[in-house]
Amino acid sequence: MIIKFLCRTPFLSYVTSSRTSFFSSKRHFFSNHPTTVISFCKNQGKLTKIRCSIYLHTRSSVSCSVTPAMAREKEMEQVDRILDAKEDDHGGVTVEMTNEPLDPSVFASLLRASLSHWRQQGKRGVWIKLPIELVTLVEPAVKEGFYYHHAEPKYLMLVNWLPGTANTIPANATHRVGIGAFVINERNEVLVVQEKNGRFRGTGVWKFPTGVVDEGEDICDAAVREVKEETGVNAKFVEILAFRQSHKSFFDKSDLFFVCMLQPLSFDIQKQDAEIEAAQWMPFEQYAAQPFVHGHELLRYISDICSAKMEGRYTGFSSVPTVTSFSQKNTYLYMNGNVRTTGSDDS
């Protein structure tokens, strides 16, 4: 016989057991050991109810005492709440944990109940965004089939593919995006720098200002920012002249590098002391004549493109403001300015 009481208020977990007393009859021994189990899970805004149960067991043979391990197992079985999750557009769910402490064993029970529920619903991918403060919850999640998808300074993202079909979870970000800035003034002088760190340190090579595009930053804006940071020169983005894709680069990720043309709006140089050894305006012919440029096919191509642009024989891709149809976010389409489209206006 099982007597159950449903409680709405969270309690601290405890298990109490009275000693077992045995009563004999002609045919049965009875084990009378009322056990009170009150289950508690720290409120994460994800739980639905708590059960408090009083058990009265009757057996047809000699009963044994309830051990702490048995009581703990029964306590975990009584947790019937699931984690709060938001459905995504691909038939999966995302759980975003808060940074409030949570006991790993309680989390494991919640996760098992949740996974069972999501499987019954036919969910596919399950994502758990775990604040770095809850790193102790990684182990129980991994034991339930989750694996690392990516990590950021403040959180870990774990994922689990539930169906028995081929896993179609998209991989983590595969590319890093960089820019090189071709800044040319009216005297056909190009803005060049010598780096204080990295592979070009101490080589005497003059190169274009370069850098990495930040998260959420447009390529055209990154080019303007890098020129300003490295040389102090204000500039206006004109075009993307060319781009290069390479693989097995930074942490084995692929790399996209965009060569951008900019028009200088100021000319006084104030170099960045932390990263730049020297910066100057240099005649383009002198830059292109460097042995380092001549010795690398890619740099020769870039130099030829820049030269053709200066002579009016080449047109790159200018940035056209637009809006995505999916998210309604402002973005840029990079396109050849000589092509007239239905979206163009006379202004």
Catalytic residues: 229
Among 139, 143, 115, 117, which Cα is nearest to 127's?
115
Q: Which of 338, 316, 319, 339 is nearest to 330 (CA)?
A: 319
Q: Which amino acid is at 6?
A: L
Helices 104-120, 68-78: inter-axial angle, 10-degree rounding:
40
- What distance in Å separates the CA atoms of residue 99 and residue 102, rounded to the nearest whole number? 9
Q: Where do runs of H (alpha helix) occur along 234-345?
A: 284-288, 291-294, 297-310
Read off φ and ψ for residue 149, nearest 5 degrees: -105, -50
* Closest of 72, 68, 64 to residue 31, by C-alpha: 64
Cβ–Cβ under 8 Å, residues 56 and 31? no
- From CA 307, how far away is CA 312, in angstroms rounded? 9
CB of 97 within 8 A of CB of 141?
no
Residue 213: how many CB atoms within 10 A of its CB?
Answer: 20
- Which ranges of the chain does DSSP label H, i.e. alpha helix? 68-78, 104-120, 138-143, 219-231, 284-288, 291-294, 297-310
Which tokens in the block code for residue 71? 């009581």
